[in-house]
Amino acid sequence: MMPLEEMCRFVIEVAIKTGNYIRERQKLLTTNDIEYKGETDLVTAVDKKAEEILVHSLSIILPEAGYTTEEKTVSQEAKEFMWVIDPIDGTTNFVHGIPLYSISIALKQNNETILGLVYEINREECFYAVKNNGAFLNGVPISVSKNTELKNCVLATGFPPAKFELLEQYLQSMRALLPECRTIRRMGSAAVDLAYVACGRFDGFFEYGLNEWDIAAGAFIVQEAGGSISDFKGNKSGYNETREIIATNAKIDGALTSIIKNSFYAN
């Protein structure tokens, strides 16, 4: 296998090339391109084609790797090396012409992430990291924010397309957090939310109901940028299984996790 830094450069090129395709196709999108995976969960022909482009390109540099992908355009067979891919994170934004959606690519070895990339297509911002080498945005090192008090923090969250049985707990978390922080944003792409935590634009992010392809790259970039990842109970591992994630700058970890845990698990 080629060195990770060299592989990362190739992955960046692949993401930019695929991002150009996605950006151009958005201008031509019609209702015929849109399908429903669930009542409110959209997928388009562009998602599927973009995934095929990514898989084909990544197979060139690591032919022995397996894949975990959102659109299942390739066999999901488990192997030592696994690419975890979301071709368009923020498909609803993409469909409605809201210019914030991203490509998310992670590489895992024996279930440990060793490379992560989030490419925000419209701003052409490429966030990436390789294991033990820090995190970067378009070649410039990035790090999480230094805020230590929730009152100074901008947080982010997301609304899952299902799991409405947790709606009351979610609303309780918002009621508890809004008076305590500066504000809360909802961008529509968990991968971008995590990338923004990594570079200090957001101080924290939380969401439930996410899949591995939504968060694998972004969570890794947050950690390489000095941040913290956990589930809603504060466990630092297992958030893929619980499908809950809290990402912070590590300085507000206790305060944010306490409120989220209280909102979802107090009873």
Q: Which helix (H) or strand (E) holds 130?
A: strand 125-130
How far apart CA 256 and CA 233 sit, in angstroms, is 11
Average pLDDT over residues 186-202: 98
What percent of the chain is modeled with pLDDT above 70? 96
Could you say which architecture CATH assigns to the domain 150-265? 3-Layer(aba) Sandwich (3.40)
Tens digit of each residue's pLDDT (9 = 90 or more) over 26-78:
988 887 777 776 555 677 889 999 999 999 999 999 999 999 998 898 989 89
How far apart CA 86 and CA 217 sit, in angstroms, is 10
Structure tokens at 120: 């925000």
Could you say which architecture CATH assigns to the domain 4-142? 2-Layer Sandwich (3.30)
pLDDT computed for residue 41 by the predictor: 61
Where do the domains of the chain lie? 4-142, 150-265
pLDDT computed for residue 220 by the predictor: 98
Binning pLDDT at 50, 70 and 90, where does residue 267 land?
low
pLDDT computed for residue 31 by the predictor: 79
Give the side-chain half-sphere CA count within 13 A for 3. Answer: 4
pLDDT computed for residue 240 by the predictor: 83
